[in-house]
Amino acid sequence: MSKRLFLVIFIITFFSFKSVSQKRFEIDSVSVCNSICVIAWYKMDTSDIDSVKIGYALPNGDTDSIGVAQADNFFFTDIDVNTERSPNDSIQTFRVTSYGYDLGASPWGNRHNTIFLEYEFDWCTSEITLSWNKYNYWPELVTDDSGVDYYKIYAVVNDDTNYVSQVEPAEIAENLEYTFQLEDGEASYKFYVRAFGFFDNTSTSNVVSMDADVLIPPDTLIGNYASVTADNFIELSFEIDQDADIEYYKLLRSEKYNEDYDSVKYIYHSQISDSLVTFIDSVDYVDIKYYYMLIAVNECQLSIDTSNVTGNIVLTTIANEDQTDSLIWTLPVPNSNDTYYFTRIRNVANDSVTDSPLMINVTEYSDDISSFTYDRSDGKFCYYIEGICESNSNYHYYSNTSCVIQSPLVYMPNAFTPDGKGPEANNTFYPIISYASEFNYQMIIYNRWGELVFETTEKPTNDVTDPTGKWDGTYLNQGKPVKPGVYIYYINYSNAQKRSITITGHVTVIYP
């Protein structure tokens, strides 16, 4: 059945002549306009009708007459609104009846109510929920008992005067309620609801107004880096939004990337004076991998934003027998799409050297330390890694310092010629010791009868012209050359861990 045919049947049904030949008037719609109720009725032949009486339907079923209008006006404005009939405070219900010139009053028509719109604002979630009642007694098309096809919500923000429909009718459905997520900080809002009937009827609700001071979420919350400091703490840097409505920030830490995060520190937003905030995490061990994230908590104690995860670089080192040190380290975060540039910093005898190539997205390196074989290194090599993220190159990551101990290497000549007639390197006797400490160093030489010939506690250098710690083939404190033959030596030295090592052997003095 078409809408037009259905409407014709409805009008014939409701407006047929009664036994007293008086026409029954029916309301077309009740709307609220500028806080005043406007009652409109269907247009029809009013040639035999004197006037229309408008009634206010009371909760107890009675009807109070509130005004009279000419029938051909087809609407009535309830300008004499008292507190009991305010459409801004509650649902208002109306009826109409007609008066004929000779036929008297027709029966009261059906009750039509205003749409009363209310709202609730949740300051914590920045949500406003609109709710309203159903409009009743429009002609029905299918099974809807109110005759409403759909509702629309209209709104304006601040000083705008053009109301705009906010959502599609299908999103409102029959819930008679809708929730908006407000985004502006301090703003004024106005809303109204309009019902649409199946036959072009409309009814407009009251307007609700509110000044919303919405909690502003952060635009920025970025984890910059987690870096090991010189005093073996982990320094963390985050970029925050100082204009956001945040109560405090909560720093979380875990040894697993995706789970088991615990709160380790808090900092109140009011204590932060810059867009960069730094934390120091006093962990017991910086050679353990930690992951961090920062959570922003608003004044309602709701966690409203979480930073990206950042983590420290953990370096592990291994001393190899081929005079290389293996360095293996972790990325700040796993499975990252960022490009990282790494540099190895080596520290030997408190002398830091950065001479490794720039390594891109690699996590291991073999360091050749053979050049230290003949120097005075005690065999202890310490390293740390410096990392730079390409997408955030202003910040550097520094790993923990990891040290290795190379085992000492000792080379002992079995003969020498102290008379100066051979090569200069053969004029003195001394051990060539690599990766050993000067701690408790001692060399003692005896002849075959057990007499002390030479003694020193100075570790020799590898410079053939430097006599320090070397035996020149003379008797101790006498300057007299010893006789050719075999002599016994005892050498005591320590590794980098100060563990004492003793070697013994013999050397032959030769005079060509």
Of the pLDDT bands very low, low, confident and very high (cuts 50, 70, 90), residue 235 is very high
Q: Is 484's pLDDT higher than 50?
A: yes
- The Cα 297–Cα 291 span in angstroms is 20
Q: Mean pLDDT over residues 123-134, rounded?
A: 89
Same-domain pairing of 12 and 102: yes
Same-domain pairing of 191 and 247: no
**Which CATH number characterizes residue 474's domain?**
2.60.40.1220
Per-residue pLDDT at 95? 92
Q: Mean pLDDT over residues 87-98, rounded?
A: 91
How far are the Cα atoms of 3, 237, 401 from residue 227, in angstroms, in the given order?
73, 9, 11
Same-domain pairing of 129 and 106: no
Per-residue pLDDT at 487? 97
Of the pLDDT bands very low, low, confident and very high (cuts 50, 70, 90), residue 132 is very high
Of the pLDDT bands very low, low, confident and very high (cuts 50, 70, 90), residue 23 is low
SS (H, E, C) 428-447: CECCEEECCEEEEEEEEEEC
Same-domain pairing of 413 and 394: no
pLDDT tens by residue, 378-428? 788 999 999 998 888 888 899 999 999 888 888 899 999 998 887 888 899
Query: Is there a contact between 75 and 40 (Cβ–Cβ < 8 Å)?
Result: yes
Other Cβ atoms closer than 10 A to 416: 22
> Considering the entire predicted model, what is its pTM?
0.66
Between 8-17, 92-101, 111-120, 228-237, the lowest mean confidence (pLDDT) is in 8-17
- The Cα 27–Cα 94 span in angstroms is 8
Q: Is 83's pLDDT higher than 90?
A: no
Of the pLDDT bands very low, low, confident and very high (cuts 50, 70, 90), residue 24 is low
Q: To the nearest whole percent, how much of the chain has pLDDT over 90? A: 46
Between 76-80, 127-131, 144-148, 479-483, the lowest mean confidence (pLDDT) is in 144-148
How far are the Cα atoms of 11, 146, 253, 341 from residue 390, in angstroms, in the given order?
75, 63, 24, 7
Structure-token pair, residue 8: 């014709």
Query: Last residue of some domain: 194, 213, 232?
Result: 213
Same-domain pairing of 400 and 414: no
What's 416's DSSP letter? E
Query: Is there a contact between 315 and 384 (Cβ–Cβ < 8 Å)?
Result: yes
Helices (H) and strands (E) in the chain, counts: 2, 40
Same-domain pairing of 109 and 199: no
Of the pLDDT bands very low, low, confident and very high (cuts 50, 70, 90), residue 358 is confident
Same-domain pairing of 192 and 236: no
Element spanning 5, H or E? helix 3-15
Q: Is 7's pLDDT higher than 80?
A: no
Per-residue pLDDT at 81? 64
Same-domain pairing of 8 and 109: yes
Per-residue pLDDT at 17? 39
Q: Is 268's pLDDT higher than 90?
A: yes
Q: Residue 451, class by beta-carbon neighbours within 10 Å (0-12 exposed, 13-18 middle, 19+ buried)?
A: exposed
Q: Is 475's pLDDT higher than 90?
A: yes
Per-residue pLDDT at 159? 78
Between 57-66, 354-363, 487-496, 498-507, the lowest mean confidence (pLDDT) is in 354-363
Of the pLDDT bands very low, low, confident and very high (cuts 50, 70, 90), residue 486 is very high
Per-residue pLDDT at 174? 67
How far are the Cα atoms of 208, 308, 338, 422 from residue 341, in angstroms, in the given order?
58, 20, 10, 53
- The candidate with the shortest Cα–Cα distance to 207, out of 30, 31, 86, 34, is 34
Any bridge partners for residue 55, and if so which?
65, 95
Q: Mean pLDDT over residues 359-381, rounded?
A: 83
Between 38-52, 199-213, 279-293, 387-401, the lowest mean confidence (pLDDT) is in 38-52
Same-domain pairing of 107 and 121: no
Per-residue pLDDT at 185? 63
Query: Is there a contact between 373 and 381 (Cβ–Cβ < 8 Å)?
Result: no
- The Cα 361–Cα 290 span in angstroms is 20
Query: Last residue of some domain: 307, 336, 366?
Result: 307
- The candidate with the shortest Cα–Cα distance to 511, out of 482, 477, 488, 489, is 482
Q: Is 250's pLDDT higher than 80?
A: yes
Same-domain pairing of 35 and 103: yes
Q: Is 109's pLDDT higher than 90?
A: no
Q: Mean pLDDT over residues 248-264, rounded?
A: 94
Q: Is 357's pLDDT higher than 80?
A: no
What is 248-306 written as a DSSP string? EEEEEEESSSSS--EEEEEEEGGG--SSEEEEEE--S-TTS--EEEEEEE-TTS-EEEE
Of the pLDDT bands very low, low, confident and very high (cuts 50, 70, 90), residue 142 is low
| More confident: 80 or 504 | 504
Q: Mean pLDDT over residues 74-80, rounded?
A: 84
Per-residue pLDDT at 22? 53
Query: Is there a contact between 109 and 15 (Cβ–Cβ < 8 Å)?
Result: no
Q: To the nearest whole percent, how much of the chain has pLDDT over 70? A: 90
Q: Mean pLDDT over residues 202-228, rounded?
A: 91
Same-domain pairing of 205 and 292: no
How far are the Cα atoms of 37, 51, 432 from residue 108, in angstroms, in the given order?
19, 13, 122
SS3 (DSSP) at 164: strand
Mean pLDDT taken over the chain? 86
Query: Is there a contact between 452 and 446 (Cβ–Cβ < 8 Å)?
Result: yes
Per-residue pLDDT at 428? 92
Q: Mean pLDDT over residues 109-127, rounded?
A: 90
Same-domain pairing of 16 and 34: yes
Per-residue pLDDT at 11? 45
E strand spans, 13-171: 27-33, 36-41, 49-57, 63-70, 75-78, 93-100, 104-105, 112-113, 117-122, 127-132, 148-157, 164-165
Q: Is 497's pLDDT higher than 90?
A: no
Q: In this structure, what are the phi and psi dihedrals at residue 404, rounded to the nearest 5 degrees? A: -125, 155
Query: Last residue of some domain: 307, 336, 365?
Result: 307
Per-residue pLDDT at 216? 83
Per-residue pLDDT at 471? 94
Total domain count for the chain?
Answer: 5
**Which CATH number characterizes residue 381's domain?**
2.60.40.10
Query: Is there a contact between 192 and 210 (Cβ–Cβ < 8 Å)?
Result: no
Query: Is there a contact between 240 and 272 (Cβ–Cβ < 8 Å)?
Result: yes
The range of the structural domain enclosing residue 154 comes to 117-213
